[in-house]
Amino acid sequence: MSAEQRDHTPERVLVFAAHPDDIDFGAAATIAGWTAAGVEVSYCILTDGDAGGFSDHDRPGVAALRRQEQLVAAGLVGVTDVTYLGEPDGHLEASDTVIREIVRRMREVRPDIVLSMHPERAWDRIQKSHPDHLACGEAVTRAIYPAVENPFAYPELAAAGLQSYKVPWLWFYGGPAHLENRFVDVTGSEDAKVAAITAHRSQHPDVERMQARVRSILRDNASRGGLPAGRSAESFHVVGVNTEDTIAGF
């Protein structure tokens, strides 16, 4: 890992997820640390989340409920900028339309780091690899190179004043464990993460079991990342897109 990657504190971060609550499971503690340090963090949720939950009650209202839950969860870790693409839950595709809207959001925010779900399936725990999660990762990856930095891609965006932009770093969460190369020490932010996940109340039939499992995963991440005993960590697969170590076209 380069010194640039290890020591750089971003100014702006843009996080993509397939569903409300995905970000909170994957990166809420890291995000809490960033916002506490003054980093501007924005969320973009790709689907409407209407296929989630465990109750038959008021299914037409599930999408609105999940948006509200996500706003509450985001606020608990210092994030107020939350947007939604509204794609149908369970049917997300890395389509041209979705990629264009992701490019639009990247060009609007112009982040130092983009966080996204991973495009590769994790066989160690297949629940991480919901088809929408994989589609989110694929769409973001296609958007980040080359579309967002290509001045000739989506000329309608440039015509609207959204010029091409080179994203420096892409961080994936929720991917295969063997690809993880960045373990962020989030000790002290565990409660904020658990509170953010718990805010998605429609998604948790057993809140106490979920909370205990999340804390256990954080400790396991820290152990895998070589952190001292008793620490907690979130894990990522970090990819340099436009850094001092990369060359355009290679």
Q: Is residue 26 part of a domain?
A: yes
Q: Tell me which residues of the chain have a pLDDT lower than 50.
A: 1-6
Q: Is residue 82 part of a domain?
A: yes
Give the pTM.
0.93
Please give the C-alpha separations between residue 109 and each of 13, 123, 150, 185, in angstroms, as whole numbers.
8, 33, 16, 26
Q: Is residue 14 part of a domain?
A: yes
Q: Is residue 156 part of a domain?
A: yes
Please give the C-alpha separations between residue 68 and each of 17, 63, 118, in angstroms, as whole numbers.
16, 9, 25
Q: Is residue 70 part of a domain?
A: yes
Q: Which residue type sits at 15?
A: V
pLDDT tens digit sequence for 199-208 = 998 888 899 9
Domain of residue 157, residue span: 9-239
Pair type for strands 81-87 and 40-47: parallel
Please give the C-alpha separations between residue 216 and each of 220, 222, 227, 230, 232, in angstroms, as whole numbers.
6, 10, 14, 11, 9
pLDDT at 4: 43
Count of structural domains, the chain: 1
Q: Is residue 247 part of a domain?
A: no
Q: Is residue 136 part of a domain?
A: yes
pLDDT tens digit sequence for 38-63 = 999 999 999 988 765 555 655 567 88
CATH code (residue 108): 3.40.50.10320
Q: Is residue 101 part of a domain?
A: yes
